[in-house]
Structure 1
Amino acid sequence: MKKLTFIIPLLFAFFAQAQMEHEITDYVWPTDEKVLQKLEDWQDLKFGLLMHWGAYSQWGIVESWSICPEDYGWCERKKGSNPDDYFTYKKEYENLKLSFNPVNFDPGKWAEAAKNAGMKYVVFTTKHHDGFCMFDSKYTDYKITDKECPFSVNPKANVAKEVFDAFRAEGLWAGAYFSKPDWHSPYYWDPKFPPLDRNVNYDPAEHPEKWEKFVEFTQNQIMELLTDYGKIDILWLDGGWVAQKSEEEMTRYYERIAQNPGSGFPKTREVNQDIRMDELAAKAREKQPGLIVVDRAVKGPNQNYLTPENKVPETQLPYPWESCIIAGGGWAWVPNPQYMSPKQAIHMLIDIVAKGGNLLYNIGPAPDGTWPEDAYKLLDAMGKWIDVNGEAIYSTRAIAPYKSDNICLTQQKDSKAVYALYLEQEDGAGLPASFTVKGIKAAKGAKLSMLGAGGTLKWENTTNGVKVYIPAILRTNLPCDLAWAVKISAVE
């Protein structure tokens, strides 16, 4: 297991709780050649957009989790008329459907901003754990298109379809986030039993017919998305606790409880919740050949890439991966969200790409269907930097030593070119007159140049690596700010 480190600790301290932890698990490579090719293409994209949006956005709270009876500070109930009464709170939470009316929803504006920022794919929350559908599912009335939701009369009421269409029109891939657990479904949280935690509130082994109804419900909704919503490139499944558990896993769980008599169950139980993922993935790829399936945090062949959450690995990982990171505020919209600075965001993107990963950057739309202006400003700044330096980002792969001090490395996958990306130091001093790229040496006759600037740079190999000289005329007229990419045509 690779050790992970937090980035920007003040921003992410709130999200360092158990529900946000997605540890790196063993990876199983797909065997489908179309999926392997799709993964290769996906690794070229490097930068995507994630959006958490739903009726919960009206309260400016953590999405879904406050209706889950697990005792964590980050999902404390603070809204509604009586947040101390769980059942009153849950009813009022679900009644947010009755007032959700994002009349300023304009997915074309989002898609244009994402494209200009250099993003290449979108992952949109079609349904979070609360079960509220942002698409026109025929299997539930808990959805934005239901007649009781005021937005249902809007021509853009089928939000997921509008989002996917708008982003595809700008040339981006479409990814559907879908929650496997559904806390609104009577087949998952049976109203006859109180919910105990995030899991199904009955024993599927004791009620197999009821569980089968949930499996059918889940698979039917996913197949709706893959049948009626155009080309879908990524099926991004959340809720890793909904998974098949082996007999050995369940035995170990009950042994732990037996060894601690009187302690009761832990906050989150282990429950075998088999939704037949192999069957589902096969059906999904009949509709969408080559579909990337991301069964998050579930070891096996249906986790086509891994998704460390609000974290960046310390080094390169030997499989496809993507850090999903909050740009500002929370996953869902919160009042007055504070976004990363362009410097933080660009340096983070470079760090991730240097280690072979993608960045999936989350922006939570407001309840009226808009983005905060600061989100547009941040993406605009990132886009201006990528316009100059995209050659060092897209279609690159990791090359050792990945990162030394404040210099990251990338390599074009189909050429010998290596890029040394110098991250501006905290003092904002720009580029020094020279710096050494440790761990690599330029090949004899190699040419070095700065992306976005004309001419070549002087260099020499030293015992530590290749030393690059930046002339004063260039240092006072740099092609961009915050980070600079030096292209090395060939290395030893």
Structure 2
Amino acid sequence: MKKLTFIVPLLFAFFAQAQLEHEITDYVWPTDEKVLQKLEDWQDLKFGLLMHWGTYSQWGVVESWSICPEDEGWCARKKGSNPDDYFTYKKEYENLKLSFNPVNFEPGKWAKAASNAGMKYVVFTTKHHDGFCMFDSKYTDYKITDKDCPFSINPKANVAKEVFDAFRTEGMWAGAYFSKPDWNNPNYWDPKFPPLDRNVNYDPDLHPEKWEKFVDFTHNQIMELLTDYGKIDILWLDGGWVCKQSDEALKAYYEGRHAKAPSGFIKNRVISQDIRMDELAAKAREKQPGLIVVDRAVKGPNQNYLTPENRVPDTQLPYPWESCIIAGGGWSWVPNPQYMTPKQAIHMLIDIVAKGGNLLYNIGPAPDGSWPEDAYKLLDAMGKWIDVNGEAIYSTRAIAPFKTDNICLTQQKDSKAVYALYLEQEDGAGLPASFTVKGIKAAKGAKLSMLGASGTLKWENTAEGVKVYVPQKIRTKLPCDLAWAVKISAVE
């Protein structure tokens, strides 16, 4: 694993391989002009919210993964009456549906907190790998609106609809996370065969009629989301191993050279699981023109942006990208989650934006439907900082050298203005009387100012870059804490 730019509490080691796959998979630019424009608009947003939430939150486990029979410490079974018996455990896990009753679910409160924090879009888990639907799908009874789930009688039982409506009311984009694998569906994990790993537990080539039923099921559920839930801006598909494998990948696997095979699957068996993504994307855009499709870690035209997972890339990436990062605890709720400090979170956001990316920040709601109070406090601190410095974040693009030492650069896409964001050092010493922005020089006659402060700043070009002087009157009454943005009207 590459060294992380920051420390994420309770980060799981298993993300190492996924991080690389979600970052280095070859990128194919879309050809649909509406999609290209949507991607351009999405890159202006910079900051979004991801939420993992489902029945698994009651146990405080790592989402669906404990029912996956892979021998990994991070998905070890530790709950239930007999975690050593897989089939007993899986049955008890599925029965969490019978006790899921998040009566403190207040999506409007979440949406307002996210909006006040400066977030511009939400990606919500409509269905994770376990197959439990947080929306009212007519194609399964394994869902929060089923009569056997106690929350089904609540007026807000169709959770995905409530979330999307609440966030759109705050002017935010709506994104639907959807898992391509479905471990509850008998046409993916056939009950006649024991599951061996995360993959389909039979060979689709030997049972094409069964696989076709699963493909139809997947298409039908996605089309439900894109038809009945208002405007959807992003279809965020997880489970990159469900894809059409290339002949080269299959050959490499069967020749025993799995470690040398291309990325796009993770481990164990390599099976071609073709859900006809080109067809699905075309149908989806008939319902939602310009829809951004994120087929994570699958090379090809349906991965409209890439998603480095729980890490910040070392430098700019040459395509649209978004770091999805745990704010605290795990992807889903865990007891007593420890959140990043505002300093960690704000510096991370700046670092990502300086390299041309977006931050998709994950908060896991608690089993009762509430957010931990520390999550609200963190977002409030981020919002106060963004209120002062948003001009240096939104609608910006990367400009070399991106970041030198503790200073990051951004540039407004439609102007010559460049922003140098000085990140407070670890010693908490605040802003010095002068600092040098290495690698760029101010143009002749340029004006420099600090966002949130009045007046202009003195400057001079040196061999290293532009040296900025901050007067005492500004340093004694700084417009914000933790990081400060200097606007340079034009650079050489």
**TM-score, structure 1 normalization:** 0.97
Aligned-residue offset at 1:480: 0.1
Q: Indicate the residue corresponding to 1:202 in structure 2.
A: 202
Equivalent position amino acid for 1:164 in 2 = F
Give the letter aligned to residue 206 of structure 1. Answer: L
CA contact (8 A) 2:6 2:348 kept: no
Q: Alpha carbons of 1:13 and 1:60: their partners in 2 closer, same or farther (altered >3 Å)? A: closer
State yes or no: 1:130 paired with 2:130: yes
1: distance between equivalents of 2:258 and 2:491?
Answer: 59
CA contact (8 A) 2:177 2:235 kept: yes
- Counterpart mapping for 1:282-321 below 5 A: 282-321=282-321
AA partner of residue 130 (structure 1): D
SS at match of 1:474: helix
Query: Is the counterpart of residue 222 in structure 1 residue 222 in structure 2?
Result: yes
Which residue of the partner structure matches residue 6 of structure 1? Answer: 4
CA deviation digits over 1:117-151, x for unaligned, max 9?
Answer: 00000000000000000000000000000000000
Match of 2:107 in 1: 107
Whether the aligned pair in 2 keeps the contact of 1:5 and 1:313 (CA below 8 Å) is no
- Take 2:120 and 2:113, find their aligned partners in 1: how far apart are those partners? 11
CA-CA distance at 1:4 after TM superposition: 5.2
Report if the CA contact (8 A) 1:4-1:313 is conserved: no
Residue of structure 1 equivalent to 2:263: none
Query: What per-residue deviation string (whole Å, max 9, x for no partner) do you get for residues 399-438 of structure 1?
Result: 0000000000000000000000000000000000100000
| Percent of paired sites with the same residue | 86
Contact kept in structure 2, 1:5 and 1:314, CA below 8 Å: no
Inter-partner Cα distance in structure 1 for 2:335 and 2:299: 37
Structure-1 separation of matches of 2:432 and 2:7:
28
1:20-39 Cα shifts (integer Å, max 9, x gaps): 43422110000000000000
Taking the aligned partners of 1:18 and 1:317, their CA distance within structure 2 comes to 18
Question: Which residue in 2 is equivalent to 1:359?
Answer: 359
**Distance in 2 between the 1:21 and 1:359 partners?**
15
The runs of 5 or more residues in structure 1 that have no matched partner are 261-265
Structure 2: gaps spanning 5 or more residues: 261-265
After TM superposition, give the deviation of residue 14 of structure 1 in Å: 2.2
1:255 — aligned with what?
Answer: 255
Where does residue 92 of structure 2 map in the other structure?
92
Offset at residue 10 of structure 1 (A): 5.6
Query: Residue 256 of structure 1 aligns to a residue in which SS?
Result: coil
Task: Return the letter of the residue paired with 1:146.
Answer: D
What is the alpha-carbon distance in structure 1 between the residues aligned to residue 239 and residue 255 of structure 2? 25
Query: 1:17 Cα deviation (Å)?
Result: 4.0
Give the SS at the match of 1:312: coil
Q: Give, as a single letter, the amino acid of the residue that structure 1 aligns with 2:210.
A: K
Question: How many angstroms apart in 2 are the aligned matches of 1:439 and 1:338?
Answer: 37
Closer, same or farther: CA 124–354 of 1 in aligned 2, 3 Å: same
Secondary structure of the corresponding residue to residue 380 of structure 1 = helix
1:6/1:12 contact within 8 Å kept? no
Structure 2 CA distance, aligned partners of 1:48 and 1:355?
Answer: 16
Q: 1:447 touches 1:456 (CA, 8 Å); kept in 2?
A: yes
Per the TM alignment, residue 16 of structure 1 is displaced from its structure 2 partner at its CA by: 4.4
Matches within 5 A, 1:74-85: 74-85=74-85
Q: Provide, for residues 368-404 of structure 1, a one-character-per-residue CA deviation record: whole Å limited to 9, x for no partner.
A: 0000000000000000000000000000000000000
Q: CA deviation at 1:9?
A: 3.6
Deviation, structure 1 residue 252: 1.0
Cα separation, 1, equivalents of 2:240 and 2:268: 12
Q: Does the Cα contact within 8 Å between 2:4 and 2:312 map onto a contact in 1?
A: yes
Please list, as runs of the form range in 1=range in 2, the aligned pairs for 1:93-242 lying within 5 A after superposition: 93-242=93-242
CA distance in 2, matches of 1:346, 1:360: 13
Q: Per-residue displacement from partner, 1:81-103 (whole Å, max 9, x unpaired)? A: 00000000000000000000000
Alpha-carbon spacing, 1:404–1:170, altered in 2? closer, same or farther (3 Å): same
Quote the Cα distance in structure 2 between the aligned partners of 1:10 and 1:216. 39
User: How high is the TM-score relative to the length of structure 2?
Assistant: 0.97
Deviation at 1:13, TM superposition (A): 4.1
How many correspondences in the alignment? 485
CA distances 1:328-366 after superposition (whole Å, capped 9, x unpaired) = 000000000000000000000000000000000000000
Which letter does structure 1 place at the counterpart of 2:58? Q
Structure 2 residue aligned with 1:441: 441
Give me the whole-angstrom Cα distance separating, in 2, the residues matched to 1:146 and 1:478: 54
Preserved CA contact (<8 Å) 1:69 1:197: yes
Residue aligning to 2:69: 69
Shift of 1:7: 2.8
